Amino acid sequence: MPEGPELHLASLYVNKMCNGVVFTGPVRKSEVSKSPDVPFTCEAYRITATSRGKEVKLTLTPMKSDDTKRKAKKGQADQPMDVVFRFGMSGYFRFTTEDELPKHAHLRFYSTEKPCRVLSFVDARRFGSWQHSGTWQPSRGPCIMFEYKSFRENVVSHLSDRAFDRPICEVLLNQKYFNGIGNYLRAEILFRLNIPPFVAARTVLEGLESEDFCENEKPVKNEIADTKTSDGTEHKRVKEETGDLLRLCHTVPLEVVSLGGKGYDPEKADYSDFQAWLQCYYVDGMKSVRDHNGRTMWFKGDPGPMAPKDSKSPKAKKRTKKEDDHDYTDKKKVAKSRSASSAKKKAVKQEAVTKTPKREKDARPKEAKSKRGKTDKPLKVNTARHEKRSTARRRGSSNAGPTAAGGLRRSRRVTRPNGK
DNA sequence: CGTCCACGTCTAC
DNA sequence: TAGACCTGGACGG
């Protein structure tokens, strides 16, 4: 989930769910988490949230009480504390009753409610992190959504930075300049402007002004015009996006925010709106290649001059040694055995804490290129009916597969929503 | 069962 | 510029 829009939706979720709720006691961390303990405990405090780019900050505010004046009990906080979170690949917040704690709830805030409810930072992969008494990470630039003006100025005034020597698609992931842009957003943004992903960033950006002169232009609705070409293939022509690249880095993420909860609230695990919103990322018919950092770049048309020279011979990687395979990752599937009886301590299977070494990569280059004429597949499969994503599922280039941002599991939509 | 893939950083050679 | 860090879902055999 986590790109700028999801982090912001997470902050809205926290503010909505925790409005009026009183929290109490210490902040609790899971056994397996490597992030720092949060040294905060208070009889009664409130929680509010804000977001900036790809970070969310929770503010824990002690409530006034008689105790406060009487010099609260030792250890009790009387000053607010900020905890800054980064979501990694799988982080999110959930507010549930105590007995419905989600799996992987690594940091928890307990309310004073009767059936106690808990605000949890949930993160299955644990790539996320938090820092107490924190501030926004200094190395990250202004938020693309809510600090638009300074975001623009920061980019435009630093175009001489060597960072802009790289392909635009890779620079868009540089959080020092594009705090909030992630893998699906870079694809959607470049796609809207038809910018080849592997063109030098400076080339694409030079000439843009610090000021956004489009700001007041009415957002011309993107018209979609279906046209038939000689070969009978149906094409959809996207009519002019308003604004330059930097403006789209601001408006496109905001479109996701406006989609609402669907994008975030895992509760209603309904990502259909989000899926329908995607025009390029993981969309059937689009191309994809690994960028120089091993991340999949989705695009249409020309990849651009700086495209990876197919260099990475993924296959050359060969098997990784076999020797070490003894991961003692005791997989005790949570046998939902409802041993309601006493001892609840050990019952809670902990995530493996073994330090077992060597496991394979996450983003490792894979098969590449497989040029294929556009021949078959006139991408107009609305006939469907039972249509199980039966479509070819070649990786490395040219098209989709399952699972993606926001959980784009299952079949991919093949036709644009507004395409007729 | 095993392999591949995933919305992102981090640090170490 | 590679790995490291993780879990789990989709798929293939």
Domain architecture of chain A: domains with CATH: 4-132 (3.20.190.10), 148-299 (1.10.8.50)
Whether A54 is catalytic: yes
A286 and A280 Cβ atoms separated by less than 8 Å: yes
More confident residue, A43 or A339: A43
> What average pLDDT score do residues A298-309 get?
96
Confidence band, pLDDT 50/70/90 cuts, at residue A215: confident
Q: What is the pLDDT of residue A247?
A: 98
Cα–Cα distance, A41 to A119 (Å, whole number): 15
Cα–Cα distance, A122 to A92 (Å, whole number): 5
DSSP A223: P
> What average pLDDT score do residues A150-155 get?
98
> What average pLDDT score do residues A247-252 get?
98
What are the pLDDT digits (tens) for A169-178? 999 999 999 9
What are the pLDDT digits (tens) for A79-103? 999 999 999 999 999 999 999 999 9
Q: Which range has the worst mean pLDDT, A257-271, A293-307, A404-418?
A: A404-418
Mean pLDDT for all residues in chain A: 75
Cα–Cα distance, A34 to A351 (Å, whole number): 12
**What percent of chain A lies above the pLDDT cut of 70?**
64
Q: Which of A81-95, A255-269, A348-362 has the highest mean pLDDT?
A: A81-95
> What average pLDDT score do residues A341-356 get?
39
| A32-48 burial: b if 16+ Cβ within 10 Å, else e | ebebeebebbbbbbbbe
More confident residue, A69 or A375: A69
Q: What is the pLDDT of residue A408?
A: 58
More confident residue, A220 or A163: A163
A42 and A59 Cβ atoms separated by less than 8 Å: no
Q: Which of chain A's residues 133-152 bind strand B, using a 7 Å CB cutoff? A: 137
Q: What is the pLDDT of residue A378?
A: 28
Whether A3 is catalytic: yes
Cα–Cα distance, A45 to A192 (Å, whole number): 45
A222 and A238 Cβ atoms separated by less than 8 Å: yes
CA distances from A113 to A23, A24, A109, A168 (A): 8, 10, 12, 50
The answer on pLDDT for A377 being more than 60 is: no
Residues forming beta bridges with residue A55, ordered by sequence position:
A52
Q: What is the pLDDT of residue A214?
A: 78
* Strand B–CB A111 distance below 7 A: no
> Between the CA of A69 and the C1' of B11, what is the distance in angstroms?
47
Q: Which range has the worst mean pLDDT, A236-250, A265-279, A345-359?
A: A345-359
* Positions of chain B reached by protein Cβ under 7 A: 4-10
Kindly state the tokens that stand for A47.
Answer: 């929680």
* Strand C–CB A413 distance below 7 A: no
CA distance between the termini of chain A: 29
Confidence band, pLDDT 50/70/90 cuts, at residue A303: very high
> Between the CA of A313 and the C1' of C2, what is the distance in angstroms?
14
* Positions of chain C reached by protein Cβ under 7 A: 1-12
A58: three-class secondary structure by DSSP: strand
The answer on pLDDT for A376 being more than 50 is: no
Confidence band, pLDDT 50/70/90 cuts, at residue A74: confident
* Strand B–CB A359 distance below 7 A: no
Question: Could you tell me whether strands A224-228 and A129-132 are parallel, antiparallel, or unpaired per DSSP bridges?
Answer: unpaired
Backbone angles phi, psi at A299, to 5 degrees: -160, 180
More confident residue, A230 or A97: A97
A404 and A184 Cβ atoms separated by less than 8 Å: yes
* Strand C–CB A31 distance below 7 A: no
The single-letter code of the amino acid at A126 is R
* Strand C–CB A239 distance below 7 A: no
A286 and A300 Cβ atoms separated by less than 8 Å: yes
CA torsion angle A272 A52 A118 A26 (round to 10): 160
Q: What is the pLDDT of residue A189?
A: 98
Find the catalytic residue in A5, A6, A54, A241. A54
The answer on pLDDT for A197 being more than 60 is: yes
DSSP A73: P
DSSP A365: -
Whether A62 is catalytic: no
Nucleotide with minimal C1' distance from the CA of A308 is C1
A234 and A228 Cβ atoms separated by less than 8 Å: yes
A329 and A354 Cβ atoms separated by less than 8 Å: yes
* Strand B–CB A318 distance below 7 A: no
Kindly state the tokens that stand for A373.
Answer: 């004429």
Residue given tokens 């039972």 in the structure block: A386
Kindly state the tokens that stand for A206.
Answer: 């030079």
Q: Which range has the worst mean pLDDT, A33-42, A140-149, A222-231?
A: A222-231
Q: Which of chain A's residues 70-129 bind strand C, using a 7 Å CB cutoff? A: 89-90, 103-104, 124-127
* Strand B–CB A126 distance below 7 A: no
Q: Which range has the worst mean pLDDT, A81-85, A245-249, A400-404?
A: A400-404
Q: Angle formed by the axes of helices A245-259 and A148-156, to 10°?
A: 150
